[in-house]
Amino acid sequence: MYGSRTVSVVFPAYNEEQHIRQAVEDFFASGVVDEIVVVDNNSKDRTREEAEATPARVVHETAQGYGNALRRGLREATGDVIILAEPDGTFVGRDVLKLLAYADDFDMVCGTRTTRELIWAQANMGWFLRIGNWAVAKLLQFLHGGPSLSDCGCTLRLIRREALAGFRDKLTVGGSHFLPEMVILALKHGVRVIEVPVNYRGRVGESKITGTLEGTLRTGFNMIALILRHRLS
CATH of domain 7-232: 3.90.550.10
Spatial neighbors of 168 by CB under 8 A, at least 6 apart, are 71, 74, 75
CA-based nearest residue to 172, from 185, 158, 159: 185
- pLDDT tens string 46-81: 999 999 999 999 999 999 999 999 999 999 999 999
Using DSSP's 3-state secondary structure scheme, residue 157 falls into strand
How many angstroms separate the CA atoms of 106 and 78, rounded? Answer: 19
CA-based nearest residue to 71, from 30, 107, 41: 41
Predicted confidence band at 88 (pLDDT cuts at 50, 70, 90)?
very high
**What are the residue ranges spanned by the domains of the chain?**
7-232
How many angstroms separate the CA atoms of 29 and 87, rounded? Answer: 14
Count CB atoms within 10 A of the CB of residue 118.
18
What is the pLDDT, as a whole number, of residue 197?
A: 97
What is the pLDDT, as a whole number, of residue 48?
A: 97
Output the CA angle 111-62-71, nearest 5 degrees.
30
How many angstroms separate the CA atoms of 224 and 22, rounded? Answer: 34
Give the CA-trace dihedral at 211, 214, 215, 218, to 10 degrees. 160
- pLDDT tens string 172-230: 999 999 999 999 999 999 999 999 999 999 988 666 665 577 878 899 999 999 999 99
- pLDDT tens string 93-144: 999 999 999 999 999 999 999 999 999 988 988 888 899 999 999 999 999 9
Strands across the sheet containing 7-13: 57-60, 35-40, 7-13, 81-84, 157-160, 108-112, 193-197
- Average pLDDT, integer, range 15-33: 97
Looking at per-residue confidence, does 87 or 128 come out higher? 87
What is the pLDDT, as a whole number, of residue 206?
A: 66
